[in-house]
Chains A and B, each alone.
Chain A
Amino acid sequence: MPERHVAIAGGGASGTLLAHALVRAGVRVTIMEPRETLGGGLAYSTPCPLHLLNAPAGRMSGFADDPEHFLRWLAAAGEPAVPTAFVPRSRYGAYLASIAREVHERSGERFRHVRSRVTDAVEAPGAVSVRTADGANVEADALVIAVGNAKPAPWPLVPDAVRSGPSFFESVWHDDATMPARPDESVVLLGTGLTAVDAVLGLRHNGHRGPIAMVSRRGLLPHEHRQLDRPPAQAPFATSLGEVIASVRRSRSSNESDWRTIIDGLRHEINVRWEALDLTEQRRFVRHILPYWNVHRHRMAPEAAKAIALLLADGTLRMIAGRTQTLEPIAGGVRVPIAVRGRDETIVVDAQRVINCSGPEHDVSARTNPLLRSLLASGAMVPNPLRIGVRIASDGALIGADGTPSERLFALGPVRYGTLIETTAIPEIREQVRDLAERLAMPAAGPLGRVLS
């Protein structure tokens, strides 16, 4: 049997873990990633020591079949291997980089890192032809799209005069977004989720001591991690998303169980129930439930929560629930008018720095990644009917415009968002990696994935 060859677009967490699994299964792998170091993508590249993992170390193994792997790596690196501890994200980046090195060292000829970006992929009989920005052409049995999270969605009502000005930052990960020009400058964060929390911690770490206002429509901060030694609860039996939500509500109002363990137990359940919803129900879920699900499910490390609590208490940090009106350029900054939620009142904040902290752009047609654009143009990839992500089958295969799952094009990790609700965290990614590696190590035998709505 000829050796199988899989190309992976993207060398972040999901791409690296898949490369490791495939090489171990005897598959030849070519990973396409412009950066020199494989492993940590954007999320794990932050050098700020206050940017911690959002899950305790004991739950962060890269391998579904080896839950203690990250703890052993910490111990071998001479660091405390405490399962309940929240470790700096840069350490996790180093962990992923060490997994990438292991792939390099152990696989010899079977592994190749092409330092370029994938721009296009075309399915031909018996192969997929993958083109990169530097003009290379790689033939493989399959291509896995592991390009990670999209850039933040653009914030509404930001005119070009503000967007292109020096006081506005499209992303917290922009080079100097959290590097204040003056320690006392006034900052507005557009968004109140985990990214906004990262922005606050980054600013403080870089010496900022001025006022910070964070704004979102509902003004919901992420919840805090607690009782870290408790494993996820057995997911309650639920036949609908409504029952899932009801069981979480019950657990929140009773003192008998921690709702966090129930939420954690529901991570898989929510994907299954989500798939079963019709389009109208999915729309209602996205509008009314998802913001609340997100702040309960994606929680802050206790250290981060403590820092945020102290800043809120002393008034340095202000939380505003409301809709921002059209931002205006002013001398040396930006004027941010905010229509306060539930009140007939507009607050005006003049800021020297405004940072967009919204979540990833889920509308795939708005994405700038050349590979995604070319696959959309060719019909190999289609937006899902909600325009949140793309259509994929249960095994991750892309579903093309003709409605059939591809045998050669697959999505991994955050790229599956929309078909799945929980698909961006390591515990989900490592299971997808295990299943996809098993699938790809077999010779192509027709589509295997179930076609989902």
Chain B
Amino acid sequence: MTASDRFEGMTQTRLGAIIEPLARAMATDRATTLAAVLSTLGKSKAFADETLFAPPSAARYSRGRLWADPDGRFTVVGMTWLPGQGTPVHDHAGRWGAELVVRGTMLETSYRLGERDGSGRARLVVEHANQIDATHVGVILPSVDIHEFVNVGSGVAHTVHVYSTLVDACTTFTQDGDGWWTPAPVALAYDA
């Protein structure tokens, strides 16, 4: 565990109660298992402590590393969202994982990648928009991993994201107005 991990202040027992089930779920290599385990952790209030999460920022949602597995098998990220804050439309660079809403209400809009033109632009088709309330989860799998995540509630939202390997970059998509979207690589940093 590194110094920046926000789990540092937790007792080893509580830490084990979160990381061990997640590590076992990741080892099954199944998002179906991970989603069920993460949801169970959410229902048992494993992430209830607000100090686990980075403080909110008026500029944009905050991103804090909760856990980086020493063997690089997975990463746990905590995010803090003020009302109305959200991500751009983005992918997850081939990773898989699951996302838990700890408090608040998030709206996940999923997109499907359609045809691409010669310049690398893509068509995105809205698959579905899904409201995710506290203790509920979302799932990330390659090829169904393009989405937008927005706090649509009236208070601060906290979410926990578990990804296979470190996610330090992804691709965002900006709508061009003519039905085409332009992809752009983005490096991701931690706020705390």
Question: Contact residues of A with B, CB < 8 Å?
Answer: 56, 80-82, 84-86, 221, 223-228, 252, 255, 259, 302-303, 305-306, 308-310, 312-314
Q: Please, which residues of chain A bring their CB within 8 A of the CB of B34?
A: 309
B36 within 8 A of A: yes
Give the interface SS of chain B, mostly helix, strand, loop or mixed.
mixed
Q: CB distance B144 to A313 under 8 Å?
A: no
Q: How far is the CA of A56 from the CA of B112 in the complex (A)?
A: 14
Q: CB distance A305 to B136 under 8 Å?
A: no
Q: Please, which residues of chain B bring their CB within 8 A of the CB of A259?
A: 29
Q: How far is the CB of A311 from chain B (nearest CB, A)?
A: 9
Q: Please, which residues of chain B bring their CB within 8 A of the CB of A80?
A: 114-115, 123
Within 8 A of A (CB), among B148-162: none
Residue interface mask B80-101, A partner, CB < 8 A = 1:
0000000000000010101000
Q: How far is the CB of A191 from chain B (nearest CB, A)?
A: 16
Q: Which residue of B lies closest to A296 (CB)?
A: B29
Q: CB distance A305 to B139 under 8 Å?
A: yes
Q: Please, which residues of chain B bring their CB within 8 A of the CB of A310?
A: 35, 137-139
Q: CB distance A224 to B35 under 8 Å?
A: no
Q: How far is the CA of A309 from the CA of B29 in the complex (A)?
A: 13
Q: How far is the CA of A18 from the CA of B34 in the complex (A)?
A: 43
25 A-B pairs with CB atoms under 8 Å apart are A81-B115, A82-B113, A82-B115, A85-B112, A86-B143, A223-B30, A224-B30, A224-B32, A227-B94, A227-B142, A228-B143, A252-B29, A255-B71, A255-B73, A259-B29, A302-B141, A302-B143, A302-B144, A303-B144, A305-B139, A306-B139, A306-B141, A306-B144, A309-B35, A314-B136
Q: Which residue of A lies closest to B95 (CB)?
A: A226
B31 within 8 A of A: yes
Q: CB distance B115 to A226 under 8 Å?
A: no
Q: How far is the CB of A83 from chain B (nearest CB, A)?
A: 10
Q: How far is the CA of A316 from the CA of B15 in the complex (A)?
A: 28
Q: How far is the CB of A392 from chain B (nearest CB, A)?
A: 35
Question: Contact residues of B with A, CB < 8 Å?
Answer: 29-32, 34-36, 38-39, 71-73, 94, 96, 98, 112-115, 123, 136-139, 141-144
Q: How far is the CB of A74 from chain B (nearest CB, A)?
A: 10
Known contacts A82-B114, A223-B29, A224-B96; decide if A305 and B141 are in contact (CB<8 Å).
yes
Between A302, A309, A312, the greatest number of chain B beta carbons within 10 A of the residue's beta carbon is seen for A309
Q: Please, which residues of chain A bring their CB within 8 A of the CB of B139?
A: 305-306, 309-310
Q: How far is the CA of A310 from the CA of B32 in the complex (A)?
A: 8
Q: CB distance B31 to A224 under 8 Å?
A: yes
Q: CB distance B142 to A228 under 8 Å?
A: yes
Q: Which residue of B lies closest to A56 (CB)?
A: B143
Q: CB distance B96 to A226 under 8 Å?
A: yes
Q: How far is the CB of A306 from chain B (nearest CB, A)?
A: 5
The 10 closest A-B pairs by CB, nearest first: A313-B39, A309-B35, A302-B141, A313-B35, A309-B32, A80-B114, A302-B144, A312-B36, A306-B139, A309-B139
Specify which of B30, B39, B72 is in contact with A255 (CB 8 Å cutoff).
B72
- Apart from A255-B72, A309-B139, 15 more pairs, CB < 8 Å: A84-B143, A225-B142, A225-B143, A226-B94, A255-B71, A302-B141, A302-B142, A305-B30, A306-B141, A308-B32, A309-B36, A310-B35, A313-B36, A313-B39, A313-B136
Q: Please, which residues of chain A bring their CB within 8 A of the CB of B29?
A: 223, 252, 259
Q: How far is the CB of A237 from chain B (nearest CB, A)?
A: 25
Q: How far is the CA of A305 from the CA of B97 in the complex (A)?
A: 12
Q: How far is the CB of A70 from chain B (nearest CB, A)?
A: 16
Known contacts A85-B143, A228-B143, A255-B72; decide if A312 and B35 are in contact (CB<8 Å).
yes
Q: How far is the CA of A224 from the CA of B144 in the complex (A)?
A: 12
Q: How far is the CB of B55 from chain A (nearest CB, A)?
A: 28
Q: CB distance A309 to B142 under 8 Å?
A: no
Q: How far is the CB of B141 from chain A (nearest CB, A)?
A: 4
Q: CB distance A312 to B32 under 8 Å?
A: yes
Q: How far is the CB of A301 from chain B (nearest CB, A)?
A: 9
Q: Which residue of A lies closest to B165 (CB)?
A: A255
Q: How far is the CB of B153 from chain A (nearest CB, A)?
A: 19
Q: CB distance B39 to A314 under 8 Å?
A: yes
Q: CB distance B38 to A313 under 8 Å?
A: yes
